[in-house]
């Protein structure tokens, strides 16, 4: 049996020793090092090649932030959070930062071993192929940028923004762009682009064990703008069979094949789509200039803060902005205590025509201000030569 290499990251020395001793007699698990803080952890990662990290929740006062950094810089390494309590909020935090499991202290040796083994085997399946065991190569592997478009308020134009942003990115970059409809119950990205889906995300789920880049390509629908589209389900009943693991596999494969992955989200936080938050380089929150939506966005920002979601990833886009409306741009920025990443003007006739024809507004009215603003948003969302995104 293949040996699973483990690093124990725990502030308390006695806990580190206890965890190491629990694993000492397991022949297929080897503890190759331990650390008491983030600095020591990254020193270890530069000079060793672990498969699994067990991270105490109180590392440098927040083990979740360390787990998130590991997921971002070493995506092939499994992280397991050692918590002091368990609850829905705990699981949601862990999922947000990309942790594979949460174990509650004090835990038994069998529970620890089971967590390590299951997390490692799940990660191997997600990779699809044997992982590259060179940590430098794993860290430097190029991945497409993920832009997740979200709002917990329905009717604010998430799909409208997602489709036009995806088409705009393809136009301004000339690179490969895929649009993923993760509004699993009521997604209509395909309708907005006048696409009749041959396949939907549920077809991929049925073939998830065989999924690779070539098979994924066969499921995607080409659009005349040059982007590819992965439509949502045609029937909501199928959604209950889709898990967060499925979505994580899909997003990873798409990131390996495309330069940009634009994700159209449902209007709620729930488990199956959580990987789209964790994978996001930009989480684009959509608001409109009305009191109800602004209150909703403020609540979403508080929820994301409570979940330790990185504030630097969150960008606010104002849709349907009106120059003479009661709520102005400055009012929105003051209410949300942040500057806006972009402003999409209210052009109701153009938008209605776009929706009725199934053509993005940027294609139908390329010279209009609304289209120019989408192109500018796409330029600001482009990654530079270092893979960093420019939206500020």
Q: What is the pLDDT of residues 144-193, one digit of tens each?
A: 999 999 999 999 999 999 999 999 999 999 999 999 999 998 899 999 99
Q: In the predicted model, is pLDDT for residue 382 greater than 90?
A: no
For residues 177 and 226, give the distance between their C-alpha atoms in angstroms, rounded to a whole number: 8
For residues 165 and 381, give the distance between their C-alpha atoms in angstroms, rounded to a whole number: 9
For residues 362 and 377, give the distance between their C-alpha atoms in angstroms, rounded to a whole number: 12
For residues 95 and 102, give the distance between their C-alpha atoms in angstroms, rounded to a whole number: 10
Chain CA centroid to CA 66, Å = 17
Q: Report how far apart, in Å, the C-alpha atoms of 33 and of each of 30, 78, 210 are.
A: 9, 15, 35
The structural domains of the chain, ordered by start, are 4-140 (3.40.50.2300), 145-381 (3.40.50.300)
Among 136-145, 232-241, 270-279, 307-316, where is mean pLDDT lowest? 136-145
Q: How confident is the model at residue 392 (pLDDT cuts 50, 70, 90)?
A: very low
For residues 352 and 203, give the distance between their C-alpha atoms in angstroms, rounded to a whole number: 31
4-55 pLDDT tens trace: 999 999 999 999 999 999 999 999 999 999 999 999 999 999 889 999 999 9
Burial 193-220 (b: 16+ CB within 10 A, else e): bebebebbbbbbbeebeebeeeebeebb
- Distance between first and last Cα of the chain: 48
At residue 60, the pLDDT reads 57
At residue 386, the pLDDT reads 38
At residue 141, the pLDDT reads 52
58-72 pLDDT tens trace: 875 578 889 888 887
Q: Name the burial class of residue 69, with classes exposed (0-12), middle (13-18) and buried (19+) by CB atoms within 10 angstroms of its CB.
A: middle
Mean of all residue pLDDT scores within the chain: 88
Percent of the chain's residues with pLDDT above 70: 91
At residue 127, the pLDDT reads 62
92-143 pLDDT tens trace: 788 778 888 899 988 999 999 999 998 898 777 666 533 443 444 344 456 8
CA-wise closest residue to 15 among 48, 47, 55: 55
DSSP string, 16-73: HHHHHHHHTT-TTEEEEEEESSHHHHHHHHHH---SEEEEETTGGG-HHHHHHHHHHH
DSSP string, 184-245: TTT--HHHHTT---S--HHHHHHTGGG--HHHHHHHPEE-TTS-EEE---SSGGGGGG--HH
Contacts of 148 (CB under 8 A, 6+ apart): 263, 265, 276, 277, 279, 280, 282, 283, 284
Among 87-96, 128-137, 258-267, 380-389, where is mean pLDDT lowest? 128-137
Q: In the predicted model, is pLDDT for residue 236 greater than 80?
A: no
């Amino acid at each position: 049996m293949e040996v699973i290499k483990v690093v124990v990251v725990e502030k308390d020395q006695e806990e580190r020793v206890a965890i190491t001793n629990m694993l000492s007699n397991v022949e297929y698990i080897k503890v190759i090092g331990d650390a008491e803080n983030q600095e020591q952890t990254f020193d270890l990662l530069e000079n060793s090649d672990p498969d699994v990290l067990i991270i105490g929740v109180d590392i440098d006062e927040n083990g979740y932030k360390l787990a998130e950094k590991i997921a971002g810089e070493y995506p092939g390494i499994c992280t397991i959070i050692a918590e002091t309590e368990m609850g829905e909020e705990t699981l949601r935090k862990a999922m947000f930062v990309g942790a594979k499991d949460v174990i509650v202290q004090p835990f038994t040796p069998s529970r620890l071993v089971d967590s390590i083994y299951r997390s490692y085997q799940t990660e191997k399946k997600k990779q699809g192929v044997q992982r590259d065991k060179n940590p430098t190569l794993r860290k430097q592997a190029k991945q497409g940028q993920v832009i997740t478009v979200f709002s917990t308020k329905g009717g604010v134009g998430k799909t409208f923004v997602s489709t036009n942003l995806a088409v705009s990115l393809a136009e301004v970059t000339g690179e490969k762009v895929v649009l993923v409809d993760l509004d699993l119950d009521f997604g209509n990205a395909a309708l907005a682009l006048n696409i009749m889906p041959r396949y939907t995300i549920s077809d991929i789920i049925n073939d998830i064990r065989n999924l690779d880049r070539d098979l994924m390509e066969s499921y995607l629908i080409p659009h005349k703008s040059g982007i590819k589209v992965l439509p949502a389900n045609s029937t909501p009943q199928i959604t209950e069979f889709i898990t967060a693991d499925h979505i994580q596999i899909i997003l990873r494969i798409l990131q390996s094949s495309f330069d940009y992955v634009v994700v159209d989200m449902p209007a709620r936080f729930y488990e199956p789509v959580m990987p789209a938050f964790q994978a996001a380089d930009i989480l684009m929150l959509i608001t409109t200039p009305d009191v109800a939506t602004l209150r909703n966005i403020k609540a979403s920002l508080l929820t994301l803060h409570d979940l330790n979601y990185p504030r630097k990833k969150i960008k606010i886009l104002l849709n349907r902005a009106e120059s003479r409306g009661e709520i102005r741009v400055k009012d929105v920025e003051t209410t949300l205590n942040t500057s806006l990443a972009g402003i999409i003007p209210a052009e109701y006739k153009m938008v209605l025509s776009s929706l009725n024809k199934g053509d993005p507004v940027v294609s139908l009215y390329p010279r209009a201000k609304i289209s120019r603003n989408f192109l500018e948003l796409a330029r600001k969302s482009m990654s530079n030569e270092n893979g960093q995104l420019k939206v500020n």
